[in-house]
């Protein structure tokens, strides 16, 4: 934890300022082990292994904890780098471009292993804070600790430990895995200051009826309940199906016979998936099978989120015809 992060923190219980009570370990001027305290209510929060901890997993409700634990396992086991990440991230952030981050104080709701935190930091954010509930913060901290403008905090998206200081906030692929996505979105928006902006990407309900009908029952009844290493191996089977279909059918047909390709099942998305290699596809399939909670949001429902936070100049974009990107300004 970099000491300058203290200026942005606020007690999640009472909103008071957070002070450094004492630090027992520093490495390269970073706080590694310490106790933080709220100036107002005197609650204490620990810094462990470089990460301030505002949410202890054992104290969080079962459902949220399971989601965090499941994704946490994944993020410490799928740690490959991929040059397509930036392109993929920008697809989800539409219409935001890299320049948008320059000199902004940015909050990321659900940073996983810090892939997007790193990108936003490299694109010139003044400060970028990635929060996550899960053990993935360990990987995220290691990935970002040498970036002077990146910070990782373990926190609950419903009880964010920050002042209302952000120029922008974003959340990609996380809100639909929380027990109440709209509430998580509103919580994130509440930390953006007047004139700032918020971006979100969520699974769409439209065109995903087959997931709702066939994948969700399997996920809810079986795959989210089995142990992670078993699912890791088991999910190679459906990945093989997706991999062969995208590489042998969707990609070639989209290159050589577009009108025919357009008639294929789920063409936009599967053609897009065809640009990824085996590991990334395995990651995506695993992702759809592992989460105890997953909501598929309709456009109408998504529009309501933005209306309820009173967002201005809202833009909603259909991504790969199966998910929604949203962007709006905070009044």
Which residue, 12 or 109, is less far from Zn ion as judged by CB? 12
Whole-angstrom Cα distance, residue 277 to residue 267? 17
Read out DSSP for 210-252?
HIIIIIHHHIIIIITTS-HHHHHHHTHHHHHHHHHHIIIIIHH
Based on the shown chain and the rule CB under 5 A, indicate whether residue 212 belongs to the binding site for Zn ion. Answer: no
Which residue, 94 or 190, is less far from Zn ion as judged by CB? 190
**Candidate list 8, 9, 11, 297; residue touching Zn ion; CB under 5 A:** 11
Joined together, the tokens standing for residue 53 give 């901890």
Q: Contact letters (x/-) for Zn ion, 16-35, by CB under 5 A?
A: x-------------------
Binders of Zn ion in range 43-62 (CB under 5 A): 43
Piece of the chain touching Zn ion by CB under 5 A; list 2-10, 36-44, 175-183, 255-263: 36-44
Helix (H) or strand (E) holding 258: helix 258-261
**Smallest Cα–Cα separation from 82: which of 280, 300, 290?**
280
Based on the shown chain and the rule CB under 5 A, indicate whether residue 38 belongs to the binding site for Zn ion. Answer: yes
The nearest distance, CB 300 to Zn ion, in angstroms, is: 39
The nearest distance, CB 5 to Zn ion, in angstroms, is: 17
The nearest distance, CB 94 to Zn ion, in angstroms, is: 38
Which residue, 15 or 124, is less far from Zn ion as judged by CB? 15
The angle at the Cα of 93, spanning 91 to 97, to the nearest 5 degrees, equals 90
Which residue, 13 or 321, is less far from Zn ion as judged by CB? 13
Determine phi and psi for 7, rounding to 5 degrees. Answer: -65, -25
- Tokens 């809202």, located at residue: 314
Which residue, 40 or 182, is less far from Zn ion as judged by CB? 40
Query: Is the CB of residue 158 less than 8 Å from the CB of residue 164?
Result: no
The nearest distance, CB 174 to Zn ion, in angstroms, is: 26
Joined together, the tokens standing for residue 272 give 């897009």
Based on the shown chain and the rule CB under 5 A, indicate whether residue 242 belongs to the binding site for Zn ion. Answer: no
Based on the shown chain and the rule CB under 5 A, indicate whether residue 13 belongs to the binding site for Zn ion. Answer: yes
Whole-angstrom Cα distance, residue 106 to residue 181? 20
Q: What is the contact surface with Zn ion in residues (CB under 5 A)? A: 11, 13-14, 16, 38, 40-41, 43
């Amino acid at each position: 934890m970099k000491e300058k992060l203290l200026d942005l923190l606020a007690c999640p219980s009472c909103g008071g300022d957070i002070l450094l009570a004492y630090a027992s370990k520093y490495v390269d001027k970073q706080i590694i082990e310490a106790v933080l305290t709220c100036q107002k209510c005197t609650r204490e929060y620990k810094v462990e292994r470089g990460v301030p901890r505002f949410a202890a997993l054992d104290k969080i409700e079962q459902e949220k904890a399971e989601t965090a634990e499941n994704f946490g396992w994944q993020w410490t086991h799928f740690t490959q780098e991929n040059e397509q990440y930036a392109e993929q991230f920008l697809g989800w952030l539409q219409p935001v471009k890299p320049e948008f981050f320059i000199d902004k104080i940015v909050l990321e709701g659900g940073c996983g292993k810090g892939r997007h935190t790193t990108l936003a930091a490299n694109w010139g954010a003044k400060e970028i804070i990635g929060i996550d509930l899960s053990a993935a913060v360990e990987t995220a901290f290691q990935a970002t600790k040498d970036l002077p403008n990146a910070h990782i905090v373990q926190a609950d998206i419903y009880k964010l430990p920050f002042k209302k200081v952000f120029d922008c906030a974003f959340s990609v692929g996380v809100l639909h895995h929380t027990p109440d996505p709209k509430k998580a979105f509103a919580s994130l928006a509440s930390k953006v200051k007047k004139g700032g902006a918020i971006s979100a990407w969520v699974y769409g309900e439209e065109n995903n009826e087959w997931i709702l009908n066939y994948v969700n029952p399997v996920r809810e009844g079986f795959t989210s309940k089995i142990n992670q290493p078993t699912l890791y191996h088991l999910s190679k089977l459906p990945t093989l199906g997706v991999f062969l279909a995208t590489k042998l059918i969707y990609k070639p047909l989209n290159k050589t016979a577009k009108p025919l390709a357009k008639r294929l099942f789920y063409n936009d998305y599967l053609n897009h998936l065809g640009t990824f290699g085996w590991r990334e596809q395995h990651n995506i399939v695993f992702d759809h099978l592992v989460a105890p909670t997953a909501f598929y949001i309709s456009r109408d429902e998504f529009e309501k989120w933005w209306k309820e936070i009173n967002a201005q100049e809202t833009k909603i974009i259909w991504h790969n015809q199966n998910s929604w990107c949203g962007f709006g300004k905070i009044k």
